[in-house]
Amino acid sequence: MPCMDGGPTQEQLGDQRRVPAALCALLSALERRFGPKLDLLEQEVDWQEAGITPQWLRAWWEKHKAEDAERLAREDRQEERAAARRAAMAKLSPDERAALGI
């Protein structure tokens, strides 16, 4: 997009967020279904028309999976801390909670 066109619309910004999510969902399903045979599907893609290479897509996919794994691990740790906090809070009496200001 040219510098002076006012930038992307809200709809375009939404699409920019949804496209990687859609690609992730599709590649995840294909990977579950075909596993190591996923490489065979590469010959079915018109890479020139897509404007990318299979190497670029593989690199993007590996990076995306690593980022997802980090995010899921972070979310799991947050949930574990929240569960531990809930369990600790459940052990406190109303007087103890009041004394702690919670």
Spans of all domains in the chain: 8-36, 49-102
Q: How far apart are CA 59 and CA 52, in angstroms?
A: 11
Phi-psi region of 51 (alpha: psi -120 to 50; beta: other; left: phi over 0): left
pLDDT for 2 = 44
Q: What is the pLDDT of residues 43-91, one digit of tens each?
A: 889 999 999 999 999 999 999 999 999 999 999 999 999 999 999 999 9
Question: 22-37 in b/e burial notation, b at 16+ Cβ within 10 A?
Answer: eebeebeeeeeeeeee
Contact 40, 34 (CB under 8 A): yes
